[in-house]
Amino acid sequence: MQIINPATEEIISELQETSKDELRRILDSLREGQKAWSQKSTKERLECIIRFGELIQLNVNELAKILTLETGKPLQQSLNEIKGAQNRVQHLRKNAEKWLAPETLVDSGSTHEKIVYEPLGVIANISAWNFPYNVGYNVFLYALVAGNSVLYKPSEFATLTGKQFEKYLWQAGIPENVFQCVVGDGKLGQQILEADLNGYFFTGSHGTGLRIAKTVAHKLVPVQLELGGKDPLYIMDDVSDVKQAAINAAEGAFYNNGQSCCAVERIYVSEKIHDEFVDAFVAEVKSYKIGNPTSLETFVGPLTRKQQIKFLENQVIYALNKGAILLSGGKEIEGKGYYFEPTVLTHCNHEMDLMKEESFGPIIGIQKVSSDKIALELMADTNYGLTAAVFSNDEERALHLLNQLNVGTAYWNCCDRVSPNIPWSGRNNSGVGSTLSTQGIRAFVQPKSYHLRSLPSEN
């Protein structure tokens, strides 16, 4: 498998793909390894995860360089991601033992009732390329602490990074037969679906997620899907600092080139402040430094996948045909690398796929609205349900809208944000199940209920 640098289109590495026979051997060894791993205490397993976190921290510069080379993520954002994702390790350090401890519910009289949380077994983690640290950690760290072994298949666009996870997990004391990173694309993914695993944890597109759910349905094992979104942001008329709101909204839309599951994908602005907002928004976007992702100054690098360029161009052309106005960007940047101009369109409406279908790139549509009621209808007009955001000075007014939206995450005066303290989950086409928080660890265990009755003593 060739690994291509999206900034230069040069081949940076060639890797041997995992064969079907190798996959079988790896799964046998993971099954064996899991037995001993699950017998260790949570504390012992956690110690390995903490050591892994320390090793990542020690090697952060080298790791950020690899991430930037293979995905095109600007170096500063690679550093941010690696450092930011460490909060999962810290959160597990604080909570994992408590979350995984047996719980006694009834401890009086002759009958005792308790729950013991047992690991699932060997789980598959089929992962994405856009934030490999965040989405990888969300699954494999929690699965490992809970006593599972993990078959990790990174995206074919983030394989070098995936191999680094393997290297440092092993160095941290996780046995080789407890974590294995396999190399390949969707074909290997398909073979994993056909193999005998105890759970499937996926991050990626809605189409692939659906296929995974259908393919493994007959196994009756847990399936968790973290998919994309078409996340709306509504700027209410009472926002006092319109310029700051525009800066924050633009960051939500263009950070990581818009390739975030919770990126702001469409913006609705009250007609009272629309023009002021758009002016500030476009000025902010035009100030972004575009270019070589290895420079710490760069904010917009290349897209990770070449095929996305055509897709984005089509969204722009279609929107223009339906009456949108282009205020910035709109096309591929000539020369080497998969660069696309940061693109802002106004006068958008829901006849445009730009406002309905996930873009996953540096492109945003803005629509003017005349009331909260209309904004709410438009925000709800989607098959996705990942996040929704409202910027307003009035919490009650913002929550009144957010409470009515069928989304896993609601933001007031913030956006494009994930925290280890609270669950990350999507609804409808955005997926099923939760990562992070208590729910995120419960995903990797199965409860066993004990009814323990002591018999009356003879005397």
- Which active-site residues does the annotation give? 226, 261
Name the minimum Å distance from CB 152 to ligand TXE: 10
Name the minimum Å distance from CB 48 to ligand TXE: 25
Contact characters 334-373, ligand TXE, x per CB under 6 A: ------------------------x-x-------------
Element holding 389 (H helix, E strand)? strand 387-391
How far apart CA 347 and CA 327 sit, in angstroms, is 10
152: left (phi over 0), alpha (psi -120 to 50) or beta: beta
Name the minimum Å distance from CB 138 to ligand TXE: 10
Q: Which is nearer to ligand TXE, 144 or 261 (CB)?
A: 261
How far apart CA 398 and CA 400 sit, in angstroms, is 5
The count of chain residues that interact with ligand TXE, using the rule CB under 6 A, is 26
Q: Which is nearer to ligand TXE, 183 or 273 (CB)?
A: 183
Residue 428 binds ligand TXE, judged by CB under 6 A: no
Q: At what angle do helices 60-71 and 159-171 cross, to 10 degrees?
A: 160
Residue 227 binds ligand TXE, judged by CB under 6 A: yes
Secondary structure (3-state) at 344: strand
Q: Which strands, in side-by-side order, build the sheet including 343-346? A: 325-328, 343-346, 363-369, 264-270, 231-235, 387-391, 409-412
Closest CA to 425 of 405, 449, 407: 407
Element holding 138 (H helix, E strand)? helix 132-145
Name the minimum Å distance from CB 203 to ligand TXE: 5
Residue 203 binds ligand TXE, judged by CB under 6 A: yes
Residue nearest to ligand TXE (CB): 189
Q: Select from 73, 153, 230, 266 the one that contacts ligand TXE (CB under 6 A).
A: 153
Q: Which is nearer to ligand TXE, 358 or 416 (CB)?
A: 358
User: Do you know the residue count of the chain?
Assistant: 459
Q: Which is nearer to ligand TXE, 127 or 248 (CB)?
A: 127
Residue 205 binds ligand TXE, judged by CB under 6 A: yes
Name the minimum Å distance from CB 340 to ligand TXE: 14
- State both tokens at 96: 């994992």
How far apart CA 454 and CA 441 sit, in angstroms, is 32
The residues binding ligand TXE (CB under 6 A) are: 126-130, 135, 153, 155-156, 185-186, 189-190, 193, 203-205, 208, 211-212, 226-228, 261, 358, 360
